[in-house]
Amino acid sequence: MKNGSTLQLEIQKAPTSKIDSVDFDKLVFGNVFTDHMMVCDFKNGEWQKPKVMPYGPLELEPSARVFHYGQAVFEGMKAFKDDDDQVWLFRPEENFNRLNKSSKRLAIPEFPTSMFFEGLEALLNLDRDWIKKGFGNSLYIRPFVIATEAGVSASPSKEYKFLIICSPAQAYYSGDVRVVFAEQFSRAANGGVGYAKAAGNYGAQFYPTNLAKEEGYQQIIWTDANTHEFLEEAGTMNIFFRVGDKLLTAPISDRILDGVTRKSVIQLAEDNGINVEVRPVAVKEIVDAAKKGELKEIFGSGTAATINPVKGFGYKGEKFELEDQEDSYARLFKNKLMEIQYNKTEDKFGWRHLVKE
């Protein structure tokens, strides 16, 4: 994970902490940030010395490319604290690799492994007190890269800023989640940027999601842009369907995010003898299964959302409700994941990474 590097990291500690002003029992996802952040600039063709410094505003030229062409990518990771105050990351190399995959697609220079992990661990060590113990508590970690070069010519920036900011988190969705299957709008197209965590992928969902909210749905399940016949992902989550005792999810493609929680769920399902089919999932088969009473569960998976059950869905004006299952797969996977993430069980897949003090 560390690449054996002897990186020189500049550390500037915040003179005071904001932690006492935060009510950790009433967190709204992504609203509060810790005392420090990591920052690293790219200029003259290389990444400069990274810094961990007090969290605070950035100064950017109004003409910086990020504002005009959306040249920006991000990641979402989480740190967890166990009963012995040890801090763990969940499959961090997956997020690091995906960040660079996203960067490549957006013509952003890749970020070096040693800088990422040494900077992240130094940041987490400074802000350790912000990570609370107990199932459901975590520190959401948001690495991102933005194009900072001044000038509005439509070409890749020659300067970038890489940052990591951290936010103490509990649940992403505060209430029940109902979804609508997309019939008109699309999230991603073949050959596009759907697989990347490009900022624009998320901004483009806000308008159709607002329309869905007016109809009583919290999220849209995006369908393929060509035919709208196949269910792809929910935008903030990958999506799973349980028909009978079989679990269905769409295969990864250049339209769908290769979710870390998604691939962990597939592995956990296989490990628990659950039949998982990773293949195109037709809207029609899910609607038919719901009508026949064979659709037992829908749930989303994502770093922020973890495993989020879906209570109901809408399609072409029809509404379907799902009954709570006593042997819920969503609950099973959520518990199994948490046991690994909070160091409550053996980590037979090697997913946990200790943040050394």
The binding site for ligand COI (CB under 6 A) comprises 76, 202, 236, 302-305
- State how far the Cα of 88 lies from the Cα of 79, in Å rounded to an integer: 5
Q: Which C-beta is closer to ligand COI: that of 160 or that of 172?
A: 172
Q: Which C-beta is closer to ligand COI: that of 54 or that of 200?
A: 200
Q: Which C-beta is closer to ligand COI: that of 286 or that of 304?
A: 304
Q: Which C-beta is closer to ligand COI: that of 98 or that of 242?
A: 98
Question: Is there a contact between 261 and 307 (Cβ–Cβ < 8 Å)?
Answer: yes
- State how far the Cα of 247 lies from the Cα of 149, in Å rounded to an integer: 46
Closest CA to 190 of 227, 240, 145: 227
**Cβ 306 to ligand COI shortest distance, Å:** 9
Closest CA to 342 of 29, 132, 76: 132
Q: What residue number has its CB nearest to ligand COI?
A: 76
Q: Which residues are within 8 A (CB) of 109 and not within 5 positions of it... i.e. 6 or more apart? A: 42, 47, 103, 160
Q: Which C-beta is closer to ligand COI: that of 103 or that of 303?
A: 303
Q: Which C-beta is closer to ligand COI: that of 119 or that of 143?
A: 143
**Residue 315 CB: number of other CB atoms within 10 A?**
19
Q: What are phi and psi of 36, to 5 degrees?
A: -130, 165
**Cβ 276 to ligand COI shortest distance, Å:** 21
**Cβ 202 to ligand COI shortest distance, Å:** 5
**Cβ 321 to ligand COI shortest distance, Å:** 25
> Rounded to the nearest 10 degrees, what angle do helices 92-105 and 113-126 cross at?
130
Question: Is there a contact between 94 and 260 (Cβ–Cβ < 8 Å)?
Answer: yes
**Cβ 229 to ligand COI shortest distance, Å:** 26
**Cβ 217 to ligand COI shortest distance, Å:** 17
**Cβ 275 to ligand COI shortest distance, Å:** 26
Q: Which C-beta is closer to ligand COI: that of 90 or that of 241?
A: 90
Using a 10 angstrom Cβ sphere, with 0-12 exposed, 13-18 middle and 19 or more buried, the burial of residue 113 is: middle
Q: What are phi and psi of 92, to 5 degrees?
A: -65, -30
